[in-house]
Structure 1
Amino acid sequence: MTELSRRSLLVLGGASLGLAACGNGVGSNGGATIDARVDATRDYMLRSFPSTKQLLSKSVGVLYMPLMTEASFGFGGAFGRGALRINDVTVDYYSAASASVGFQIGAQQYAHALFFMTEKALADFRKADGWELGADARYALPDGGGAIGTDTTTTLAPVVVQVFGQSGLIVGASLAGTKYTRIIP
Structure 2
Amino acid sequence: MQVRKLGVALGVAVSLLAGCTTTGGGHLTTTQANRDATSIANEKREIDSAYDSTLTRLYGNARGSQELVAKAKGVLVFPSVIAAGLVVGAEYGKGALRMEGKPAGYYQTVSGSFGWQIGAQSKAVIFLFMTQDALNKFRTGSGWTVGADASVALLNVGANGEIDLNTAMQPVVGFVMTNSGLMANLTLEGTRITKLDM
Q: Does TM, scored on the shorter chain, surpass 0.5?
A: yes
Decide whether aligned partners of structure 1 residues 47 and 176 sit closer, same or farther in structure 2, where only a CA change above 3 A counts: closer
On the 8 A contact 1:24/1:68 being kept in 2, the answer is no
On the 8 A contact 2:156/2:164 being kept in 1, the answer is no
Paired residue type of 1:127: T
Structure 1 residue 132 displacement after superposition: 0.7
TM-score norm. by structure 2 comes to: 0.69
Q: When you count strand as a share of all residues, which structure comes out higher?
A: 1
Decide whether aligned partners of structure 1 residues 104 and 149 sit closer, same or farther in structure 2, where only a CA change above 3 A counts: same
**1:90 is matched with which residue?**
103
**1:125 is matched with which residue?**
138
| Corresponding residue to 1:53 among 48, 63, 66 | 66
Identity %: 30
**2:57 is matched with which residue?**
44
Higher RCO structure, 1 or 2 (CA under 8 Å, sep 6+): 1
On the 8 A contact 1:55/1:150 being kept in 2, the answer is no
TM-score norm. by structure 1 comes to: 0.74
- Comparing 46-55 with 18-27, greater Cα deviation is found at 18-27
Structure 1 residue 128 displacement after superposition: 2.2
Q: When you count helix as a share of all residues, which structure comes out higher?
A: 2
**2:90 is matched with which residue?**
77
Structure 1 residue 150 displacement after superposition: 3.0
**2:116 is matched with which residue?**
104
Unmatched segments (≥5 aa) in structure 2: 14-38, 181-185
Decide whether aligned partners of structure 1 residues 33 and 132 sit closer, same or farther in structure 2, where only a CA change above 3 A counts: same
Paired residue type of 1:96: T
On the 8 A contact 1:142/1:164 being kept in 2, the answer is no
Decide whether aligned partners of structure 1 residues 125 and 21 sit closer, same or farther in structure 2, where only a CA change above 3 A counts: farther
Instruction: Count the aligned residue pairs.
Output: 160
Structure 1 residue 111 displacement after superposition: 0.4
**1:15 is matched with which residue?**
none
1:150 aligns with 2:157: no
On the 8 A contact 1:24/1:81 being kept in 2, the answer is no
On the 8 A contact 2:76/2:128 being kept in 1, the answer is yes
**1:138 is matched with which residue?**
153
Distance in 1 (alpha carbons) for counterparts of 2:144 and 2:188: 17
Q: Secondary structure at the match of 1:53?
A: helix
1:163 aligns with 2:166: no
How far does the alpha carbon of each residue in 1:58-102 deviate from its partner, in whole angstroms, 9 at most, with x for none? 2111101101111121211011100001111111000011113x4
Distance in 1 (alpha carbons) for counterparts of 2:144 and 2:193: 5
Decide whether aligned partners of structure 1 residues 174 and 114 sit closer, same or farther in structure 2, where only a CA change above 3 A counts: closer
Unmatched segments (≥5 aa) in structure 1: 1-17, 168-172
**2:77 is matched with which residue?**
64
Structure 1 residue 43 displacement after superposition: 1.7
1:30 aligns with 2:43: yes
